[in-house]
Structure 1
Amino acid sequence: MSKFQLVTPAFFTGRPTTKIAQDLLGTMLLYRSPQGIVGGLIVETEAYLGTNDTAAHAYHGRRSAFSEPLYREPGTLYIYRLRANYLLDLVTQPAETPEGVLIRAIEPVIDVNQLISNRGKSGVLVSNGPGKLMQALGIQDQEMNLQLITDSDLAIDLAQRRTPQQITAVPRVGVNAEAASGQLPLRFIVAGNPYISDSRKRDWRDDHGWQD
Structure 2
Amino acid sequence: MRNPPRESGPPDLTTPEGFGTFYEEHIDAVLGFVTRRVADPHLAADLTADIFLAAMRSAAGFRADRGVPVAWLFGIARNVLAGHARGQARETGALARLSGRRLLDDEDVAALEDRIDAERAFRAVAERHAALSEPLRAALDLVVVDGLSPAEAAQALGVTQATVRVRLHRARRALRAGEPARRPAHESHLEVVR
Fold-level similarity (TM above 0.5):
no
TM-score by length of 2: 0.28
More helix by share: 2
TM-score by length of 1: 0.26
